[in-house]
Each structure stands twice: as structure tokens, then as C-alpha cells.
Amino acid sequence: MKKRIVLIIFLSVGIFFFLFGLFIKDHILSGILMWLGTILQGLSAAIAVPLLAQKETSADRNKIDWQDERNKVIREKASWYTGMIIIAAMGVSALA
């Protein structure tokens, strides 16, 4: 819970600094604020990656979903449609 609060704070302050830096007249201060906002947003992304990866650790559930018959049919249909779209796009680009 503490990591999420820190994430929200870093992201909010980073966005504020970046947007505030866009509308300041002084070029040096504007650059510093935009740089600081970008750094804080990057730090919030570095904090968010482990939090997001932590939720998807259920290996058994992923294995069951992957082997499910319905999901196999859905993946096959999606790959067929994707292949047809790629063939059509390649045909149009070859004519162009």
C-alpha cells in the first residue's frame, strides 16, 4: 500500500512539474521543471513495473487458460484474421 501511495505522489508531482514547466516564461526554469517532471514520471514507472508484475504471478491459472479449448479456438481465429489483413496490406503496398 505504501508503494502505491509513493507511486501516485511521484506521478502527480511529476505531471505537475512537467505541465508547469511548459507554461513558464523563463527558459532555464522551464527546462529544469520539465526535466524534473520527466525524472519523477520515470521513477513512478520504475515503481509501477514490480507492482503490476506482482499481480500476474498465478502460474497455474495461466496454464489452465492457455490450454483451454475455447482460448485455442479464439487464438486460431485471431491469427487467421491477422494473416488475412497482412496479406491484404501487402497486396495494396505492392500495387502502390
Separation CA 58–CA 44 (nearest Å): 25
Of 71, 10, 3, 14, the C-alpha closest to 37 is 14
pLDDT digits (tens, 9 = 90+) for 22-54: 888 888 888 898 888 888 888 888 877 777 766
- Long-range contacts (CB closer than 8 Å, 24 or more residues apart) made by 81-88: none
User: What confidence tens digit (pLDDT) does each residue in 50-93 have?
Assistant: 777 665 556 666 666 666 777 778 888 888 888 888 888 888 87
pTM beyond cutoff 0.75: no
Contact 74, 47 (CB under 8 A): no
